[in-house]
């Protein structure tokens, strides 16, 4: 597997400009001769499909929901970063670049990150022109807030529904192209395989989720904007349908998978409350500005929170990190909460949770001020838990939230399979080992609106893919394989439901490949996952037929892929024998218990190559830091 990142030469601030000039162009009259498949209608896929159609290409766009508008990007709350420096507080492209590289714990590619920071400006312009109703000041100019520990105010937002509004902007642009006949939309279609002919991506195989029909689609280029894989943990903040299937199929057809072990655990989610629990709900991180996090000092203290006097409470973040206190970064706050629970000092009915207490803030500022700041969040919390956070402390616990790993891509966002591109959360992206708040939306839109439409053109102009059609043996074989797999799932007829297996996989991944990982735990996991996979294929029960809408069958296919993918994730976590960002190996920590990188051995991207019937091969793309100096993070 050759890993040529194709990073343009020259000073970092000129690379993208120069590269844009060097990219080959497709003649406007010829664009309509090309067919492009875009899988995904989130910020990345939706933006790419709309823009490619505007340029004149014929686009086919796929999603598994009943409408493009429901892609998981819709759920993003907090905001989107851009280095506009509208607040005049010293922000700049360079500062956003710097913060992102550092925040990613020095495991991202400098050139990509700088490009992202440059494009952030265009994104805001584009979204405003589309009618995204961003928050504004009384002057009529755009408002900003600070987010995720940044020292400048650069986050643009639309109430608590920024993802929704950005996605609706992209969706509306997309629907305009659908009506114009330039995009053909395939909703309720799930991509189940990638077709590679002569080493080049030439199409996909899908299942029509209403009729069960298995269909082939030919194209000159294939783009995957299929989102992240946090649902490998079963319980996460992602939507129920979020899956690894599309990228996993691509991996098995030859696309390198980069850094699968880099996952982000968000510290402030509502804790799980019972076995029936289907997902975890995120509570905005902003709550940590005024809430104090604590657990009882005494193990197994079951008293109601107000009966526990201050002297018997452990405000552990304030104790460990006197200067950052409750605002310690996501990964650190998450890990410490797990420690408390593991020590038997967790709170709530299940003992899995810590308190986020507003008592002191309400005493200091008054209930009205707190209501003004967090009223809607308090309502949401009350609606879900039945508790009133004005009177009893909230209970929170970390939850899987975002995945920094994904398909490896070069500077053009092309995977190791020529003609196959990966965008948005589906690629291994620009976030290194940890993503900063409000930067996933930025990356999805940068990829979709501004980068991939140009780089796909360059690919088409250079590669000039020859004509093939769906009668080609590669399509026939892929269709047969998809059908065979589906029949296999339907015919096991065992005793356990798909969700039951998914829950078990999730528990294992969370325990051994979640917030804190050890070599022993990972080895155990590497033994246990193949066993569970074998049990799945022997004992799963998928009712119904393949010829209709069958939600159990859809889910079964996704869980089957998670059961393969989980193993690669654990392997990657084991091989990365250092701590970095969201990947915390217990063996590698500083005296204060912080993540300790090993730059000598691991300043690289780990890229996995699939081999049929044999262990995957680990390749390395070295990372060099020319502009941001390697340093240890400190939040003491």
Partner 1 sequence: MNLKLHVWRQAGPEDKGGFVTYQAEDISDHASFLEMLDVVNEGLIARGEEPIAFDHDCREGICGSCGFMINGQPHGPLQTTVCQLHMRTFEDGAELWLEPWRATAFPVVRDLVVDRAAFDRIIGAGGYISANTGSAPEANNIPVPKENADLAMDAAECIGCGACVAACPNASAMLFTGAKVSHLGLLPQGQAERDDRVLEMVLQHDEEGFGHCTMHGACQTACPKGIRVDWIARLNRDYRQAKTRRPGEAGLVGA
Tell me how far, at minimum, the Cβ of 564 lies from partner 1, in Å: 23
* 136, β-bridge pairs: 142
Of residues 244-303, those binding partner 1 (CB under 8 A): 273-274, 276-279, 281
Q: How many CB atoms lie within 10 A of CB 255?
A: 29
Measured CA to CA, the distance from residue 226 to residue 11 in angstroms comes to: 33
Count of residues touching partner 1 (by CB under 8 A): 77
- Our finding on whether 87 is near partner 1 (CB under 8 A) is no
Binding region for ligand FAD (CB under 6 A) out of 38-46, 455-463, 539-547, 620-628: 38-46
Q: Which entry of ligand FAD, partner 1, none binds 277, CB below 5 to 8 A by partner kind? A: partner 1
**CB–CB of 606/618 below 8 Å?**
yes
Binding region for partner 1 (CB under 8 A) out of 110-118, 169-177, 562-570, 577-585: 169-177
- Our finding on whether 207 is near ligand FAD (CB under 6 A) is no
Q: Which entry of partner 1, ligand FAD, none binds 611, CB below 5 to 8 A by partner kind? A: none
Burial class of 301 by CB neighbour count within 10 A (0 to 12, 13 to 18, 19+): middle
**CB–CB of 270/260 below 8 Å?**
no
Pairing of β 420-422 and β 221-224: parallel
- Our finding on whether 131 is near partner 1 (CB under 8 A) is yes
Pairing of β 58-62 and β 183-186: parallel
* 60, β-bridge pairs: 37, 184
Question: Does the annotation count 476 as an active-site position?
Answer: no
> Of 72, 401, 435, 619, which one interacts with partner 1 (CB under 8 A)?
72
- Our finding on whether 42 is near ligand FAD (CB under 6 A) is yes
Pairing of β 420-422 and β 406-407: unpaired
Count H helices and E strands in the chain, helices first. 17, 19
Sketch the per residue contact string, 394 through 433, with partner 1: x for CB under 8 A, - otherwise. ----------------------------------------
Please identify, using beta-carbon distances, which residue of 393 and 444 lies nearer to ligand FAD.
Answer: 444
Tell me how far, at minimum, the Cβ of 123 lies from partner 1, in Å: 9
**CB–CB of 288/357 below 8 Å?**
no
- Our finding on whether 158 is near partner 1 (CB under 8 A) is yes
Tell me how far, at minimum, the Cβ of 282 lies from partner 1, in Å: 8
Binding region for ligand FAD (CB under 6 A) out of 34-42, 118-126, 380-388, 564-572: 34-42
Measured CA to CA, the distance from residue 591 to residue 137 in angstroms comes to: 46
Tell me how far, at minimum, the Cβ of 11 lies from partner 1, in Å: 24
Measured CA to CA, the distance from residue 13 to residue 381 in angstroms comes to: 44
> Of 128, 463, 524, 532, which one interacts with partner 1 (CB under 8 A)?
128
- Our finding on whether 444 is near ligand FAD (CB under 6 A) is yes
**CB–CB of 284/276 below 8 Å?**
no
Of residues 457-496, those binding ligand FAD (CB under 6 A): none
Q: Which entry of partner 1, ligand FAD, none binds 226, CB below 5 to 8 A by partner kind? A: ligand FAD
> Of 111, 113, 166, 185, which one interacts with partner 1 (CB under 8 A)?
185
264: left (phi over 0), alpha (psi -120 to 50) or beta: beta
> Of 172, 298, 412, 589, which one interacts with partner 1 (CB under 8 A)?
172
Please identify, using beta-carbon distances, which residue of 36 and 362 lies nearer to ligand FAD.
Answer: 36
Of residues 37-56, those binding partner 1 (CB under 8 A): 47, 50-51, 54
Q: Which entry of partner 1, ligand FAD, none binds 51, CB below 5 to 8 A by partner kind? A: partner 1
Q: Which entry of ligand FAD, partner 1, none binds 181, CB below 5 to 8 A by partner kind? A: none
Pairing of β 214-218 and β 221-224: unpaired
> Of 6, 33, 136, 484, which one interacts with partner 1 (CB under 8 A)?
136
Measured CA to CA, the distance from residue 251 to residue 411 in angstroms comes to: 19
Tell me how far, at minimum, the Cβ of 408 lies from ligand FAD, in Å: 16
Of residues 47-76, those binding ligand FAD (CB under 6 A): 62-65, 71-73, 75-76
Q: How many CB atoms lie within 10 A of CB 84?
A: 18
Of residues 245-264, those binding ligand FAD (CB under 6 A): 245-246
- Our finding on whether 67 is near partner 1 (CB under 8 A) is yes
Of residues 78-97, those binding ligand FAD (CB under 6 A): 78-80
Please identify, using beta-carbon distances, which residue of 239 and 508 lies nearer to ligand FAD.
Answer: 239
Phi/psi at 122 (5° precision): -65, -30
Q: Which entry of partner 1, ligand FAD, none binds 126, CB below 5 to 8 A by partner kind? A: partner 1
Of residues 515-574, those binding partner 1 (CB under 8 A): 541, 543-544, 548-549, 551-552
For residue 554, the Cα-to-chain-centroid distance in whole angstroms is: 21
Measured CA to CA, the distance from residue 634 to residue 636 in angstroms comes to: 6
Tell me how far, at minimum, the Cβ of 448 lies from ligand FAD, in Å: 7
Measured CA to CA, the distance from residue 9 to residue 14 in angstroms comes to: 9
Residues 6+ apart with CB under 8 A from 194: 201, 203, 204, 205, 222, 246, 249, 250, 253, 255, 417, 420, 478
- Our finding on whether 39 is near ligand FAD (CB under 6 A) is yes
Measured CA to CA, the distance from residue 367 to residue 353 in angstroms comes to: 24
Burial class of 383 by CB neighbour count within 10 A (0 to 12, 13 to 18, 19+): exposed
Tell me how far, at minimum, the Cβ of 341 lies from partner 1, in Å: 19
- Our finding on whether 77 is near ligand FAD (CB under 6 A) is yes
> Of 103, 104, 169, 225, which one interacts with ligand FAD (CB under 6 A)?
225
Measured CA to CA, the distance from residue 166 to residue 419 in angstroms comes to: 28
**CB–CB of 266/282 below 8 Å?**
yes
Tell me how far, at minimum, the Cβ of 221 lies from partner 1, in Å: 18
Measured CA to CA, the distance from residue 451 to residue 119 in angstroms comes to: 9
Q: Which entry of partner 1, ligand FAD, none binds 225, CB below 5 to 8 A by partner kind? A: ligand FAD
**CB–CB of 35/219 below 8 Å?**
yes
> Of 97, 171, 381, 512, which one interacts with partner 1 (CB under 8 A)?
171
Q: What is the total residue count of the chain?
A: 636
Measured CA to CA, the distance from residue 582 to residue 202 in angstroms comes to: 35
Please identify, using beta-carbon distances, which residue of 65 and 412 lies nearer to ligand FAD.
Answer: 65
- Residue 163 three-state SS: helix
Residue of 60, 253, 330, 435 marked catalytic: 330
Which helix (DSSP H) or strand (DSSP E) does residue 189 occupy?
strand 189-197
**What Cα–Cα distance (Å) separates residue 499 from each residue in 60, 184, 516?**
32, 33, 25
Please identify, using beta-carbon distances, which residue of 258 and 396 lies nearer to partner 1.
Answer: 396
Chain positions contacting ligand FAD, by CB under 6 A? 39-45, 62-65, 71-73, 75-80, 162-163, 190-191, 225-228, 237-238, 242-243, 245-246, 282, 401-402, 424-426, 438-441, 444
Residues with catalytic annotation?
330
């Amino acid at each position: 597997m050759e890993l040529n990142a194709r990073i343009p030469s020259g000073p970092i601030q000129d690379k993208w400009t120069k590269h844009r000039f060097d990219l080959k162009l497709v003649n406007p009259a010829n664009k309509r001769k090309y067919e492009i498949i875009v899988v995904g209608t989130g910020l990345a896929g939706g933006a790419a499909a709309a823009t490619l159609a505007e340029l004149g290409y014929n686009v086919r766009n796929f999603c598994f929901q009943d409408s493009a508008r429901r892609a998981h990007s819709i759920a993003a709350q907090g905001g989107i970063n851009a280095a506009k420096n509208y607040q005049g507080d010293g922000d700049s492209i360079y500062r956003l670049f710097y913060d992102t590289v550092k925040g990613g714990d020095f495991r991202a590619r400098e050139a990509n990150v700088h490009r992202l920071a440059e494009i952030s400006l265009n994104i805001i312009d584009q979204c405003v022109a589309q009618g995204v109703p961003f928050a504004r000041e009384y002057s009529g100019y755009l408002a900003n807030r600070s987010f995720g520990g940044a020292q400048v105010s650069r986050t643009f937002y639309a109430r608590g529904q920024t993802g929704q509004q950005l996605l609706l902007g992209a969706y509306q642009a997309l629907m305009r192209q659908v009506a114009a006949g330039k995009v053909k939309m395939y909703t309720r279609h799930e991509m189940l395989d990638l077709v590679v002919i002569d080493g080049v991506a030439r199409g996909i195989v899908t299942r029509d989720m209403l009729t069960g029909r298995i269909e082939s689609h030919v194209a000159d280029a294939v783009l995957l904007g299929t989102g992240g894989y946090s649902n490998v943990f079963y319980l996460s903040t992602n939507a129920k349908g979020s899956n690894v299937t599309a990228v996993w199929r691509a991996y098995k057809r030859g696309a390198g998978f980069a850094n699968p072990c880099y996952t982000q655990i968000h510290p402030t989610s509502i804790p799980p409350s019972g076995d029936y629990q289907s997902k975890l709900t995120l509570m905005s991180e902003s709550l940590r500005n005024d809430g104090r996090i604590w657990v009882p000092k005494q193990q197994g203290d079951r008293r109601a929170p107000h009966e526990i006097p201050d002297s018997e409470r452990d405000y552990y973040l304030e104790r460990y990190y006197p200067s950052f206190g409750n605002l310690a970064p996501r990964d650190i706050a998450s890990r410490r909460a797990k420690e408390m629970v593991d020590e038997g000092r967790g709170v709530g009915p299940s003992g899995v949770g810590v308190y986020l207490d507003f008592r002191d803030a309400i005493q200091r500022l008054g209930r009205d001020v707190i209501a003004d700041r967090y009223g809607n969040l308090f309502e949401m919390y009350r609606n879900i838990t039945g508790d009133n956070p004005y009177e009893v402390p909230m209970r929170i616990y970390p939850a899987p939230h975002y995945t920094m790993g994904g398909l490896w891509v070069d500077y053009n966002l092309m995977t190791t399979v020529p003609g196959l591109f990966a965008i948005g959360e589906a690629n291994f992206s620009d976030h290194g080992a940890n993503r900063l708040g409000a930067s996933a939306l930025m990356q999805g839109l940068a990829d979709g609106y501004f980068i991939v439409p140009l780089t796909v053109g360059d690919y088409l102009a250079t590669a000039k893919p020859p004509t093939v059609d769906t009668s080609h043996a590669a399509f026939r074989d892929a269709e047969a394989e998809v059908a065979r797999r589906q029949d296999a799932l339907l015919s096991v007829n065992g005793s356990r439901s798909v969700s039951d297996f998914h829950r078990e996989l999730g528990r294992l991944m969370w325990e051994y490949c979640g917030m804190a990982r050890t070599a022993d735990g990972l080895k155990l996991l590497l033994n246990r996952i193949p066993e569970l996979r074998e049990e799945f294929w022997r004992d799963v029960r998928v009712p119904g037929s393949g010829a209709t809408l069958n939600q159990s069958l859809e889910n079964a296919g996704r869980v089957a892929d998670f059961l393969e993918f989980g193993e690669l994730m654990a392997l990657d976590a084991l091989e990365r024998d250092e701590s970095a960002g969201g990947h915390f190996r217990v063996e590698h920590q500083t005296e204060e218990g912080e993540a300790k990188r090993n730059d000598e051995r691991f300043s690289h991207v780990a890229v996995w190559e699939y081999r049929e019937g044999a262990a995957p091969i680990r390749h390395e793309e070295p990372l060099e830091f020319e502009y941001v100096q390697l340093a240890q993070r400190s939040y003491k």
